[in-house]
Structure 1
């Protein structure tokens, strides 16, 4: 008769009182990891012991059972139960579910401990994400789930966001066809169809980085940090029905606005309301623009205003606030941490001081009737208002324009303007001596007549030469006179009070690029100009004495500022037909001298804030030029990664590849300076400096995510 095969007998399970259990020295776990004992105890207290302890009988010297049991596998659970007993939340004799191994078994206790810890398969991250989603769908709150699983609400929201990605992409991730970083990148969009389209796009290219995925999913959106969003506020946009997507895994400056048309409408409406408010001040015209062109004010005259005087009550309040600010600073300046309420008090005091110190400007209503204002959005999202500008076509319409006549110096043109328009304060002008001047010397009864014009001309010609000779021998006065003439040109429109035939011609760029006014150098120049405007006198006739009163360093700084406004290093577009204004040779000579100055001041365009961006550079060049630039800056292998892309995608990838380099296009380089860094210097082995997401693709390999799901999950849960 045939014998049947032996069947496996599983170890029996028993409920053993807790006080009959002891830890075994055979437990192989020596290093702490995962949840702390206290957290595990709280979890056991809430849901009970989900996994039995693995125990063995403790024999006596003769091998008989003593009624005690040792625990080779499950020591952390035992410690958690022990903590509950210590806190009197669990009875000492409470039964504990255990799997009892035979003491005489051939398998060592150490092997039990090793097997239990080593042969467990961690839960796949996708299963964790879906489990979190099912808990929310069942009605549990995010905060409660976070508390139950000893994590933070932010981690729970991350996993819920991952669970909301397209099911098709989930399948690819489950089969290790996508990395966790890539899956996280897809969470910036809730549009499953668009997610799948982008994944299809990646299948035909080398670049599958998470950054590229985020870029493709947000290329038709607007960042919350954009100045238009700051102007209308994100809250107003959301209240109007707009939506915002956020990246829960990477810094995103607040996220992206998805409805660009709605944002533009809100901006237009708010600008119109602000323009209406500014117009109500009494201006003839108010023009609005999101980005004011660089040369918007070119050819316009500025009228001057008066700062609103501070009242005695305001002065007293300002003194009290400054005393309060000094007191707070003395108390808290050395503190390691400032309480929130104190910090709020300091901010409130500083804000009120700023409001009192920043005095509004009052303009003459008669001047405002012929002038206007530009209303635009500043780089930080605040409203930018430039008041007091008179357009050339409005000059003739001004009925007071014939009140005074000013003779301009040679080459600057004579112009009839109001006396109030001569400089910022406006003063009466003294006429030249001569017989034809109605204000000159009148004929006396004794028969004296004014000197003939010709004689006056001859005499003053001789005096001019004498003055020139003396002037040349007094460098300090010569410097002051040149500075005076430059300041008149830079700050006092239509003023010709200087005897020097020297006029500063501020540069007005032809074809200025978009956003030039918001560039870092433009903002620095504007701030410096505004600072000097506040320091100089309103009346240009007081300027000479004011300049002489300045310290030497201040004179030099003002001189350099004025001179800088006339520096032109732009390679202007030479017209096909000579218009008499510029020629190719004159531009070449000007640019050559600009290089000399650039070397003298050690110009660093990169440090000044320029970067090769899509809008500022790559969109205006051809695909071969983009590839040549990337090759020069990073090497041929990087150019080979993007040579198959369409122009728009290639431009965006080139911007990213060159972001951290010091590469400049040829027109922005200074001849004689160090050449742009070669790709060899930045990447000695040809692959070490590959950007994130491209290194694996360049090798033709796909990252293996099957191994180490626990590590990937840890990244998602950070």
Structure 2
């Protein structure tokens, strides 16, 4: 039978035939077109070759002294060299190669291999690994074969088990990987799809909103009750935790809220029993004890203990008489940070006759005595600090609310164009105010740190070169544009009041925006002795203490030094969740 190929074609085919070449004779080619991230993922590639062999041969050309240069497949060569260095294969290991000594330009071969290839979609990898495990492979085996951590494989498996409908949206690019990860907190496909259908389109790529909807009625591991009881103790008692594999802090959601509340109360009651052993008439454990509840009690009189006996943990630094303990008691409650707080010296209504108010006494030190006559005006520097704290909190909350950011931008532009009122809370296009000089401990402020993290996360979406920004904006999805808009707009918010700039428009619109965003400053600020109480007078501190406890001032307060009183006010504010009126 006549051979259908010409002599030249037969020569070319023979020249391209596979052959085995000793690894020690193979060298890298300096002309390879791939220059960036050449060694990225070499460990994984080496593990795959060790498990599956070299699936695709290397393309080589002859070189002097019996060597061969690899013109296509340099990463495979690096992986093979690593296996030889580790002792997994010998240095003379035979490697399948295709010889190309024809007239084709080696650079063209290298370019063809890298350009024509299309990377596998991550969804295909998730599905493929899931198939391997379903066919009997273990997680550790798959991890070893592909050179990744076992935890990485577990995460991929969880992603592959998301509702097929939602998984298809990810494959088609309609939802992002972080959103797909958020859906994994529930294994219920119907529940996942119900949450998806109940969300506005822009929310479908908001991981926080997805997790919140899927875990409604459950308690986050960061909750104060969970921190107080401890996750291990909760689980040991039979409590179930819905783990979130994609939480960087290893958190999750506690599902048995009744059990958690019972364990919290039992632990608080144990603390209350220890306090009662101090000789108090009664003790009571409560999950919370705010100032409204506090107003039902009167306060026994106590003397401040001498220096050296002080315990900053609670009011045990006060010295209580046997007579006071005989009629008074203590409430043990849970602070916002998840610690037991003890309120000693409380008298239940009707147990004793209230004594006449004898005034506030004297300070007993070199400070001028203060008279409590209502809240004093705050120093201008403190007003600037507090309003900067509020502005920082507004910025991060707005950055997390793209639809509100869009409304604010439209409002600002409409006020300028249609109402001739360019002034307002948003200064993004005029002059952005830096909060660094206005805010005490700027870099450590929770709201500032959270906004920086959000800026970094959203910034990863954008091109590295500003010259490419317009093209990106024209091709980006609407949800991506809204995310960028929210963070960019947030950086322009200005509701700061300073001595030289009362910022009337910004303050008024800041109040409105706070209502819209349901701003809760307790999530972002704590009034401390150093940051707040130490910067106001003793009279103002005592007025704040009265407001916290909703009770007349204790005679012992006036005898305290300002530093001691500020420390007491900080503890009371933490226990009651009290905030300065300017931030409420």
Pair 1:126 & 2:123 matched: yes
Pair 1:674 & 2:484 matched: no
Inter-partner Cα distance in structure 2 for 1:357 and 1:262: 28
Residue matched to 1:301 = 299
| Cα RMSD, aligned residues only | 5.2
Of 189, 196, 204 in structure 2, the residue corresponding to residue 199 of structure 1 is: 196
Secondary structure of 1:385's counterpart equals: strand
Pair 1:391 & 2:348 matched: yes
Asked if structure 2 preserves the Cα contact closer than 8 Å seen for 1:303 and 1:390, the reply is: no
* Alignment CA distance shift 1:259-1:637 (3 Å): farther
Residue matched to 1:602 = 383
For residue 674 of structure 1, report the CA deviation from its aligned partner: 0.9
* Alignment CA distance shift 1:291-1:207 (3 Å): same
Asked if structure 2 preserves the Cα contact closer than 8 Å seen for 1:223 and 1:253, the reply is: no
Asked if structure 2 preserves the Cα contact closer than 8 Å seen for 1:275 and 1:375, the reply is: yes
Inter-partner Cα distance in structure 1 for 2:413 and 2:213: 19
Secondary structure of 2:383's counterpart equals: coil
**Aligned pairs (5 A) from 1:549-560:** 550-551=365-366, 555-556=367-368, 559=370
* Alignment CA distance shift 1:54-1:631 (3 Å): closer
For residue 31 of structure 1, report the CA deviation from its aligned partner: 3.9
Structure 1 residues 43-77: Cα deviation after superposition (integer angstroms, max 9, x where no partner): 5445432321223467x9xxxxx986553212333
Pair 1:177 & 2:174 matched: yes
For residue 364 of structure 1, report the CA deviation from its aligned partner: 4.3
* Alignment CA distance shift 1:88-1:300 (3 Å): closer
Inter-partner Cα distance in structure 2 for 1:302 and 1:290: 23
Pair 1:54 & 2:59 matched: yes
For residue 290 of structure 1, report the CA deviation from its aligned partner: 1.8
Structure 1 residues 195-227: Cα deviation after superposition (integer angstroms, max 9, x where no partner): 211211235667643343233334433222222
Inter-partner Cα distance in structure 2 for 1:628 and 1:72: 52
Secondary structure of 2:351's counterpart equals: helix
Residue matched to 1:369 = 326
Of 250, 253, 257 in structure 1, the residue corresponding to residue 254 of structure 2 is: 257
For residue 187 of structure 1, report the CA deviation from its aligned partner: 2.7
**Aligned pairs (5 A) from 1:10-25:** 11-18=16-23, 21=26, 23=28
Inter-partner Cα distance in structure 1 for 2:374 and 2:334: 27
Pair 1:73 & 2:69 matched: no
For residue 139 of structure 1, report the CA deviation from its aligned partner: 6.5
Asked if structure 2 preserves the Cα contact closer than 8 Å seen for 1:202 and 1:208, the reply is: no
Secondary structure of 2:291's counterpart equals: coil
Deviates more, 1:383-392 or 1:147-156: 147-156
Inter-partner Cα distance in structure 2 for 1:194 and 1:120: 38
TM-score scaled to structure 2, two decimals? Answer: 0.58
Of 365, 368, 374 in structure 2, the residue corresponding to residue 567 of structure 1 is: 374
Inter-partner Cα distance in structure 2 for 1:638 and 1:129: 46
For residue 144 of structure 1, report the CA deviation from its aligned partner: 6.0
For residue 238 of structure 1, report the CA deviation from its aligned partner: 2.1
Residue matched to 1:33 = 38
Pair 1:242 & 2:239 matched: yes
Asked if structure 1 preserves the Cα contact closer than 8 Å seen for 2:315 and 2:343, the reply is: no
Task: Please identify the structure whose Cα radius of gyration is greater.
Answer: 1
Asked if structure 2 preserves the Cα contact closer than 8 Å seen for 1:372 and 1:389, the reply is: yes
* Alignment CA distance shift 1:115-1:296 (3 Å): same
Asked if structure 2 preserves the Cα contact closer than 8 Å seen for 1:633 and 1:677, the reply is: no
Secondary structure of 1:173's counterpart equals: helix
Residue matched to 2:478 = none
Residue matched to 1:703 = none
Asked if structure 2 preserves the Cα contact closer than 8 Å seen for 1:308 and 1:359, the reply is: no
Extract unaligned runs of 5+ from structure 2. 415-482, 511-584
Inter-partner Cα distance in structure 2 for 1:358 and 1:14: 84
**Aligned pairs (5 A) from 1:613-628:** none
Pair 1:216 & 2:198 matched: no
* Alignment CA distance shift 1:261-1:15 (3 Å): same
For residue 141 of structure 1, report the CA deviation from its aligned partner: 6.0
Secondary structure of 1:388's counterpart equals: strand
Inter-partner Cα distance in structure 2 for 1:282 and 1:366: 10
Secondary structure of 2:259's counterpart equals: helix
Residue matched to 2:450 = none
Inter-partner Cα distance in structure 1 for 2:222 and 2:491: 21
TM-score scaled to structure 1, two decimals? Answer: 0.48
Asked if structure 2 preserves the Cα contact closer than 8 Å seen for 1:303 and 1:389, the reply is: no
Inter-partner Cα distance in structure 2 for 1:206 and 1:306: 54
Residue matched to 1:115 = 112
Residue matched to 2:280 = 283
Asked if structure 1 preserves the Cα contact closer than 8 Å seen for 2:47 and 2:144, the reply is: no
Inter-partner Cα distance in structure 1 for 2:32 and 2:404: 61
Structure 1 residues 369-417: Cα deviation after superposition (integer angstroms, max 9, x where no partner): 3222222112221211212222341115xxxxxxxxxxxxxxxxxx7x6
Residue matched to 1:226 = 223
